[in-house]
Amino acid sequence: MSQPLRLRFLIGVPEIGQLPESRAEVAVVGRSNVGKSSLINALAGGKTARVSKKPGRTQLLTCFALARDNATFVDCPGYGYAKAPKAIRNSWQPMLERYLLEREQLVMIMLLVDGEIGPTESDLEMLGWLREHGRPHTVVATKLDKVKPSQLGKRQREVASQCRLPMSAVAWISAAKNAGISRLCELVHLWVGGKSR
Ligand code: GDP
């Protein structure tokens, strides 16, 4: 069993140039409500500074120090957030794209999809875009506990096939039931090249 990640809130920044110096970064992306904040809290064993839900915060790259690994965990603005005014969407979308494409320290992008409802059109667009640009990514399906056990095998096959991935390539998690979290902590340590404890 891997230990929870030691995540310490550092700063939220609106621009790539303001990111803290880091050896390696893991980013979490997904549309709003997919379970990003819940996942980050679960990875940290419930011990991160609570992520504010104020709309302003959601447009920032929210950085957490990953203790002992000399690495940073970056919570990205939720894409496809229909309620954000268009002007705001237009201002941070290019920033997010630049971050995901150009940041050299970025070793992995976790793309969250809602396991209960499956990948949306904007999730598949994001996935296609990451593939097209050859950016390192892993699909994480959230809310595993919301899928009926009798339906789980079928859902897992469907999500993998919609994402055009083998079933083993999709990490299934439940932040609510703490399922799949320990394995994901191990993967984060592997990705940043640090020690697992
Ligand atoms: P974010 O907008 O992507 O940061 O999403 P949140 O983490 O705030 O989660 C959105 C909603 O989904 C909240 O009501 C959470 O309680 C719920 N949620 C998140 N993860 C899980 C999960 O693993 N299981 C269940 N049942 N609900 C979840």
pTM: 0.92
- Spatial contact of 30 and 113, defined as CB atoms under 8 Å apart: yes
Asked if residue 1 belongs to a domain, the reply is no
- Check pocket membership of 180 for ligand 1, CB cut-off 6 A: no
pLDDT at residue 176 is higher than 80: yes
- Which residue CA neighbors atom 28 of ligand 1 most closely? 143
pLDDT averaged over the chain?
88
For the residues 118-123, what does the mean pLDDT come to? 93
Q: Mean pLDDT lowest for which of 44-53, 130-139, 168-177, 184-193?
A: 44-53
The pLDDT value recorded for residue 27 is 97
Closest CA to 105 of 190, 29, 21, 14: 21
Domain count, the chain: 1
CB of 120 closer than 6 angstroms to any ligand 1 atom:
no
Structure tokens at 181: 């979290």
Q: For residue 186, which amino acid is it? A: E
Residue 2 belongs to some domain of the structure: no
pLDDT digits (tens, 9 = 90+) for 5-36: 889 899 999 899 999 999 999 999 998 889 99
Residue 58 belongs to domain with CATH number: 3.40.50.300
Does 61 reside within a domain? yes
Element (H, E) at 177: none
Distances (CA, A) of 60 to 17, 169, 193: 12, 29, 26
Picking from 128, 48, 124, 112, the residue whose alpha carbon sits closest to that of residue 78 is 112
Q: Is residue 196 part of a domain?
A: no
